Amino acid sequence: MQIFTDIRVKQPTEIDEKLEAAVRAAQRDARTKGSDGVLVIRHSFEHYSVALSPDVPFGQTYERDQAIRN
């Protein structure tokens, strides 16, 4: 797995815009390479990563929630 970008937000309103832009950029990169899909990982409510992953089929975007909940 190759981390494409790491995103940290302070306000919940920032999440959608930043994630959508990062996913679009990762999808473009994946299309150029012709392999790997896009994996969006939530580490916490303020920290996300967008990665290219061989575990995700080409042309697909998966989400993984690793946030610790109480």
pTM of the prediction?
0.88
Instruction: Dump pLDDT digits (tens) for 3-60.
Output: 889 999 998 889 999 999 999 999 999 999 888 999 999 999 999 999 999 999 999 9
- Dump the DSSP string for 10-68: SSGGGHHHHHHHHHHHHHHHHHHHT--EEEEEESSSSEEEEEEETTS-TT-EEEEE---
Note the pLDDT of residue 68. Answer: 80
